[in-house]
Amino acid sequence: MLAILFVALLAVGAAAWLVLTPFGPQSETFVELAPGSSTARIGQQLEAAGVVRNRFAFDLLRWLKWGTLRAGEYRFDHPAPMTDVYARIARGDVFTRTVTVPEGASIFEIAARLQQAGLGAPQDFLDAAVNQTGLVADLDPGAKSLEGYLFPDTYRFARKATPAQIAAIMVRRFRAVAEQLGLKGNMHAVVTMASLVERETAVDAERPLVASVFANRLAKNMPLMTDPAVIYGLELEGRWRGAIHQSDLSLNTPYNTYLHTGLPPGPIANPGAKSLRAAMEPAKTDYLYFVAAGANPQGLSLFSRTLDEQDRNVAGYRHAVKKAGGR
């Protein structure tokens, strides 16, 4: 009897040592658990990767805990008790790369952020943004790219996520927000307008006013004369020099809203919810001009009904810039 008890105590001690004593890799190691994997298969993978000492001990722990193990890719970089490894997989603490896409980011800026996060070369994402327009075919049948439909947010992408998968996730988020907002009407026009609003002001209260200026100018068949659209056209052609020059305003691209009336051919950025709402519901004003918030040292846009008012606002803006030490 004592011998049996002694053996049992040894077995319990060995199991406790296997489960509770830290073990694992000293350097970054990834283990990808496929959906539907059995506990035995997961234990085999963890043992083979050097994350746990013994797969059978992991099976035993799973039997005792009786929890659900979640698929995904996990990152291990230091020794840990098997109980910690189990807990991570049970709560689905998968490894992801976090990417924050700010409101008004263009596909070029998103591509750069994805590269910084280790999620591929910029051109791969730009290609996906052009090739995956089927994702928005029901919303915007004439879309030339996914520009405008990649909703700004903070995302957590799997390390091996492809550009096409990333784009699909961002479009899915756009659809969810569009439904919440009750976005309706000509989606192409609304999103294009929203992208202009987004790039012209970061002041929430001004978004409906900026949208009203564009709506009023469109109604009068006046050119929108918005620099962000010109810049986007230059970016598409690889001619953007980091600052807008007078010569750029006379360059005939489809996005030059100084030369062409109406909206540009498509969105120039990816707008947030407030700009989308403003584009759908512009304020009721008779404003036809504004000095953009970003160009004003006070950080507020200046709106005007007549060209004389606009000229005075521009003169005031230039005086403020000079006073602030600018040129």
Nearest to 19 by CA among 80, 72, 76: 80
Domain-embedded: residue 7: no
Residue-level pLDDT at 297: 47
Residue-level pLDDT at 123: 97
Q: Are residues 191 and 258 in the same domain?
A: yes
Residue-level pLDDT at 4: 59
Residue-level pLDDT at 165: 97
Q: Are residues 304 and 202 in the same domain?
A: yes
* Residue 158 DSSP SS3: strand
Q: Are residues 214 and 262 in the same domain?
A: yes
Residue 75, domain extent: 20-94
Q: Are residues 201 and 302 in the same domain?
A: yes
Q: How many residues does the chain have?
A: 327
52 close to 14: Cβ distance less than 8 angstroms: no
Q: Are residues 60 and 103 in the same domain?
A: no
pLDDT means over runs of 10, the chain (327 residues)? 53 57 87 91 94 91 87 93 94 94 97 96 97 96 96 96 97 97 94 97 94 98 96 92 90 95 97 98 96 65 87 73 58
Domain boundary among 68, 94, 120: 94
Residue-level pLDDT at 316: 75
Domain-embedded: residue 295: yes
Domain-embedded: residue 298: yes
Domain-embedded: residue 145: yes
Q: Distance (Å, rounded) from C-alpha 25 to C-alpha 85?
A: 12
pTM of the model: 0.84
Nearest to 116 by CA among 82, 157, 62, 70: 157
The residues, ordered by sequence, that sit 6+ positions from 194 with a Cβ below 8 Å of its Cβ are: 148, 211, 267, 271, 275, 276, 278, 279, 280
Work out how many domains the chain is built from and give that number. 3
Q: Are residues 209 and 272 in the same domain?
A: yes
Q: Are residues 220 and 313 in the same domain?
A: yes
Residue-level pLDDT at 19: 65
Q: Are residues 88 and 127 in the same domain?
A: no
Domain-embedded: residue 12: no
DSSP string, 69-114: PPPEEEEE-S-B-HHHHHHHHHTT---EEEEE--TT--HHHHHHHH
Q: Are residues 201 and 277 in the same domain?
A: yes
Q: Which amino acid is at 309?
A: E
Can you give the CATH number for the domain in which 55 is found? 3.30.1490.480
Q: Distance (Å, rounded) from C-alpha 269 to C-alpha 228?
A: 9
Domain-embedded: residue 6: no
Q: Distance (Å, rounded) from C-alpha 140 to C-alpha 12?
A: 64
Q: Are residues 115 and 65 in the same domain?
A: no
Domain boundary among 164, 181, 198: 181
Domain-embedded: residue 273: yes
Q: Are residues 270 and 253 in the same domain?
A: yes
Chain centroid to Cα 148, Å, comes to 11
Q: Distance (Å, rounded) from C-alpha 182 to C-alpha 175?
A: 10
Q: Are residues 191 and 265 in the same domain?
A: yes
Domain-embedded: residue 199: yes
Helix (H) or strand (E) holding 16: helix 2-20
**Helices first, then strands: H and E counts in the chain:** 12, 6
Alpha helix ranges (H) inside 225-306: 227-236, 273-280
Domain boundary among 94, 109, 129: 94
